[in-house]
Amino acid sequence: MGLVSFTMRSISLGRLSFTFTPKNVYLLNQFSAQFAYGHREILLSYARLDSSTLLEGVLQHGITSNENLLLDAKTPKVGLFRRAPFWVFSKETTEFLKNHGMRDVTAIGAPWAYLQKMRGQLADVGGHPKRNKTLVFPTHYSQSVNIPFTQDEVRQKLRRWKSLSGGEEITICLLWSEFLNPVWRMVCESEGVTLTFAGVGESKPVWSPHVSRVNFLANIDILLRDHSRCIFESPTSAIFYAISLGKEIGLFLSPQSGDWGAFSAAHERQLIWTTECLPDLVEKFALTPRMIEFSRRVLGEDCILNPEELRENLVYSKGVVPT
């Protein structure tokens, strides 16, 4: 038998060869969801953990109905008999998932709420200067669901948004891949409309420290604070971020927004849930006490932990994420 030799991804024993995945690579693949939108980086900064730290569990991806969360709540196995923890935003979500058989579920509050707490703005609803500008969030599709628009269709959208804004200056925030669409850029430039994007929600590799991912939520925060009102074409977590900052918002559905069957049943459920929970914002601008209270609940503002408590509730390993 020949000598045993090790490489990064294989073991050779004479004529036999076995491939394997190094532990750190395995962990990064298993728990990759935490890197979306810079969620992990916000929590690490607040908890005073270094950037090589990997959270060995699953973070709630965004704000959605409990039914949608239940479909995605299966966490990776840890050992033979248990699963990794699932960290969610609110107490209501924790109770719902536990009532449906999940065990290791803990409410820690949303990364957005920690971002605001670090900035000292958590309770500052409506108490900051407003500019007379309207921020528009069109329906964000994806690279796999491409809805092409002609120049005339984009101009028609702009006319509607300008009318809804009452003549205010408008800024349009697109998904990064849509921001690259020359049709959007050409029309907005000719109409004198500002076009922007918040960043890249996910990167390759997932742990890439590029600012477009790490600062995604921070960029959303800057955009929201720079505008007085928001128009949304479809449900998104940014609705609740805007409410938490005291913005008047309206959900003005596009024809595509009402036809979620072309995308997924989960999107359709999200639309129904949002309009049922926040009826005040459908087809009109609003900021009501009921909206503010509901936003605080789903963001888990009453679940925010201090840095030491957060470290105690998280499961993590240092030295895993490349720096």
What burial class does residue 220 get, using C-beta atoms within 10 Å of its C-beta: 0-12 exposed, 13-18 middle, 19+ buried?
buried
User: Residue 3: CB partners within 8 Å, gap ≥ 6?
Assistant: none
pLDDT of amino acid 5 = 32
Task: Give the model confidence (pLDDT) of 31-80 as tens digits.
Answer: 888 999 999 999 999 999 999 999 999 999 899 888 888 877 778 778 77
Task: Give the model confidence (pLDDT) of 11-28 as tens digits.
Answer: 444 555 444 457 888 888
pLDDT of amino acid 201 = 82
For the chain, domain boundaries: 24-119+302-317, 133-300
Decide which of 1.10.540, 3.30.70, 3.30.1380, 3.40.50 is the CATH code for 133-300. 3.40.50
pLDDT of amino acid 127 = 46
pLDDT of amino acid 308 = 97
3 state DSSP class of 173: strand
Question: Would you write out the chain's pLDDT as a tens digit for each of its 323 residues?
Answer: 333 333 345 444 455 544 445 788 888 888 888 999 999 999 999 999 999 999 999 999 899 888 888 877 778 778 777 889 999 999 999 999 999 988 899 999 999 999 999 988 554 544 454 568 999 999 876 555 566 778 999 999 999 999 999 988 999 999 888 888 899 999 999 999 999 999 988 888 888 888 999 999 999 999 999 999 999 998 999 999 999 999 999 999 876 544 545 456 777 888 899 999 999 999 999 999 999 999 999 999 999 999 999 999 999 999 999 88
3 state DSSP class of 53: coil
C-alpha to C-alpha distance for 122 and 11, rounded to whole angstroms: 52
C-alpha to C-alpha distance for 193 and 188, rounded to whole angstroms: 5
Burial letters 244-254, b for 16+ CB under 10 A, else e: bbbbbbbbbbe
